[in-house]
Chains A and B, each alone.
Chain A
């Protein structure tokens, strides 16, 4: 029989280990949200439904069409990339020519979220919670006293790998740097010859791809329903904690949210798990309004 301190020590280790796994997914979602916000100045309220749609595309390919993972996953990522990019090209680019751009973009993304949810519900696949068959098996490994499955380890490793690839892409490739330039100062970027629309379209595509990757990784852990996009709220929470315009901030924010959720559940109450991320947001905003990695507050001159 374990003593109280041993139990608390176990809680701490397991809470952090499991929190890092789910937190890495929140981080991916936060990156998907932040890269859109940085380049369009409006949050993408369809991020959750793009995430959900990615999961259902993969489900359709893997379960109903019996296509191997090695083909189904790249196809899913490709399809979500194309669909998200097309949404920018067909809808948002048109909206961009009208006044009150930010509000219109928000409404358009809300519209997209309803359309995607409606499509999934009409397929009938969203009627019951579903999952993919496990790719990595249910074998467990022990890290300290914490127990993780191979699936958990793979989720964390793949999410980290995706983040590293994105870091390299944004810092060391011509297209990635162009995207950063559009995020920092679109007018200056246009003056040096960057095609704003093409770059933004690629960013929307990449955001969709990241959301789909997060969905494929986490679907076996949270199960798929037409309402699974609600998870993206935790991605927003991670982005806010990190600073909303900072990519490293999104990563750190995601990991913090994942860990805090578990520790609050373990040391406070399981009832408090859902409110924990929002308490973290309030604390961070009270102490550092621009978020952990946000730059200094900028006051625009009128």
Chain B
């Protein structure tokens, strides 16, 4: 296994210094012809994409900004093995058709060396067939993408923020350990996304010997009276929500109206804008016993996140001055870009798509950004499987002790 421990910013600088020094010697990159497109003596082309318009823009725009600032920083430090990274950016609109079209354009027209993108699972999974046929390494941006990660393939790597399989199991692990919960209410989506997180939630519930009352809802639900009333009737010790932000806001509001007093834990799936969540729920009283999951290594304003926030503010002063920026999902983009640059560095001065994909399959490194290691394995193409929890009272987030890591493993 290739391990690059403590490979956050300091580790990366050391690594880049090594690759830059190596580039000055006879093994300097670019000794003529290359077997794959998108790579020359002095540059390497990466296709970067995310939803940059449409209703899911909030999920992808800032992670893409973060990835771009990481690549730009690498270029300012001399590039990788003397090659500057050239980005070709596309808008996938969080739609399967648009994402597949963007990927095809990047591969066939722009001739990129590898792909880094996708913030929406269903859309990212749709590119699976084309990517595998093209044999091009594809590292997702911040999509969970479980559908393309299990069973594992040779070229697709995702779950850099977290996989849905990890989300559900970790949430159950947290509520059992933190609240000593025996009976857990669980509301998820009734689609593949919800099924993925429910699978590991049930796995962890079984491991802990606790019961799970599950209500699965359509993401477009307009009236959440029925699921919330059924959850209240089941009288759980704690309620876990793995929905998107809109259903989560409706459920929190209804839970408050129906007098549900137990702790409510919202997973990272619905935390894109907590300030807006409070406004949508309409009262801070609904957040009296409320917790959110996050997948970074500290609270968003904590010291371990300072370097990345400062970097963002320096790189995008106008954007940082806007309200609600950087968004909570922003740091995930850095981890995804790190995955790409680490793999390129480890692949040596003359990388091929095949050698980069081979490196990625067993890559492990400390990002300095995320809650756990970014780590792939023989049967695991999901990069990050840990999370932290914060108590959120409608204004402030307070970090809860412990980092929780998924114990579910894929069995071929």
Contacts and interface: CB of A to CB of B under 8 A. Distances in A.
Interface of A: 1-2, 7, 10-11, 14-15, 18-19, 22, 121, 126-131, 133-134, 138, 140, 147, 149, 218, 220-223, 225-227, 230-231, 234, 258, 261-262, 264-266, 270-271, 273-274
Given A140-B257, A270-B217, A274-B220, A15 B226 contact: yes
Contacts of A7: 233
B211 to A, nearest CB: 16
B310 interface: no
Contacts of A230: 220
Interface of B: 53-55, 57-58, 190, 215-218, 220-223, 225-227, 229-230, 233, 235, 245-246, 249-250, 256-259, 272-273, 276, 279-280, 282-283, 285
Given A7-B233, A271-B217, 17 more contacts: A10-B229, A10-B233, A128-B58, A128-B273, A130-B279, A138-B256, A149-B257, A221-B250, A223-B250, A258-B223, A262-B225, A265-B223, A265-B227, A270-B190, A270-B216, A270-B217, A270-B227
A271 B216 CA distance: 6
A contact face: mostly helix, strand, loop, or mixed: helix
A128 to B, nearest CB: 5
A128 B229 contact: no
A225 B257 contact: no
A2 B218 CA distance: 28
B245 A147 contact: no
A15 to B, nearest CB: 7
8 contacts: A15-B225, A22-B222, A134-B282, A147-B257, A226-B55, A265-B226, A274-B220, A274-B221
A262 B225 CA distance: 7
Contact of A138 (B226, B249, B282): B282
A128 B257 contact: no
A273 B226 contact: yes
B229 A121 contact: no
Which 4 residue pairs across A and B have the least CB separation, nearest first?
A: A265-B226, A18-B225, A129-B246, A131-B280
A131 B277 CA distance: 9
Contact of B226 (A149, A225, A270): A270
Contact of A220 (B57, B221, B273, B282): B282
Contacts of A133: 279, 282
A59 to B, nearest CB: 11
Contacts, number: 111
B247 to A, nearest CB: 9
B218 A273 contact: yes
B319 to A, nearest CB: 13
B54 to A, nearest CB: 6
A147 B232 CA distance: 13
A223 B57 CA distance: 17
A261 B224 CA distance: 10
Contacts of B233: 2, 7, 10-11
A10 B222 CA distance: 21
A218 B222 CA distance: 9
A130 B275 CA distance: 11
B223 A127 contact: no
Contacts of A149: 257
A221 B223 CA distance: 8
Given A220-B282, A273-B218, A262 B223 contact: yes
A147 B230 contact: no
A225 B285 CA distance: 24
Given A7-B233, A121-B53, A222 B222 contact: yes
A268 to B, nearest CB: 9
B283 A231 contact: no
A217 B221 CA distance: 17
A43 B256 CA distance: 39
A149 B217 CA distance: 22
A22 to B, nearest CB: 5
B246 A223 contact: yes
B55 A121 contact: yes
A222 B250 contact: yes
Contact of B217 (A18, A223, A273): A273
Contact of A126 (B55, B220, B221): B55
A231 B55 contact: no
Contacts of B259: 147
B55 A262 contact: no
